[in-house]
Amino acid sequence: MKTKKQRADYINCRLEALYPDVTIPLRHGDEYTLLVAVILSAQCTDKRVNEVTPALFAAADTPEKMVKLGQEKIRKLIETCGLANMKSKAIFETSKQLISKHKSRVPQTLKELEALPGVGHKTASVIMAQAFGIPAFPVDTHIHRLAQRWKLTNGKNVVQTEKDLKMLFPTERWNRLHIQLILYGREHCTARGCDGTKCQICRALFPSRIHPVKTRK
């Protein structure tokens, strides 16, 4: 498959066949609890987040309850996620800002989401896609790695990778595809388990490739 478009079309069809039913792995009840869960997921596995959030959301599942709970109690409830000080502050300050600026509702634009404490572009994109169904293409380390191994981007940075992927795949596929890519990157084309020559998609796209692919972080 010589062109990026040919590779993208194959990947699109293959991932849809592999993962026909996809949902975001983070357990949540609404837009607010999803936002909190995504903040917690930074440098932490989804499994760990899902172990922590039931107790946290039982104590506070709205911005008002979270502010009333207080930063220190939030920290104690999430400490096994790692970066507890930073994340508890982000959750607390974001909850305050949702109350003061957004009538306790999670905003539906990238600009407003990215203005919240502890919410970067990737987190904002996840909320846009998974909470509101607005097309977005959040790029995490798995997607960034796969896009380089499959020569869909030059891997300069995640910003460039996102831009390149958006050009290659249909807009209506972005929200499902980014989850499918993450799942494939975790299960098959892993950082250590595949070097660009071993998983089924790598072999299908580049059958004559013999040298490992070095990926940029």
The DSSP element (H or E) to which 41 belongs, if any, is none
**CA-to-CA separations, 169 to 34, 177, 188, in angstroms, rounded:** 25, 9, 21
- Residue whose structure tokens are 């572009």: 121
Q: What is the pLDDT of residue 61?
A: 97
Residue 193 has phi, psi (to 5 degrees) of: -80, -20
Question: Model's pTM, two decimal places?
Answer: 0.90
Question: Which residues participate in catalysis according to the annotation?
Answer: 122, 140
pLDDT band of residue 201 (cuts 50, 70, 90) is: very high
In angstroms, the CA 178 to CA 180 distance is 5
Q: What is the mean pLDDT of residues 99-107?
A: 97
Distance CA 82, CA 6 (A): 41
Residue 155 confidence (pLDDT)? 77
Neighbours of 120 (CB within 10 A): 12
pLDDT at 5 over 90: yes
Q: Report pLDDT digits (tens) over 36-95.
A: 999 999 889 999 999 999 999 999 999 999 999 999 999 999 999 989 999 999 999 999
Residue-wise pLDDT for 123-178, tens only, equals 999 999 999 999 999 999 999 999 999 999 987 899 999 999 999 999 999 999 99
Domains of the chain: 4-22+137-205 (1.10.1670.10), 31-130 (1.10.340.30)
Asked if residues 74 and 94 have their Cβ atoms less than 8 Å apart, the reply is no
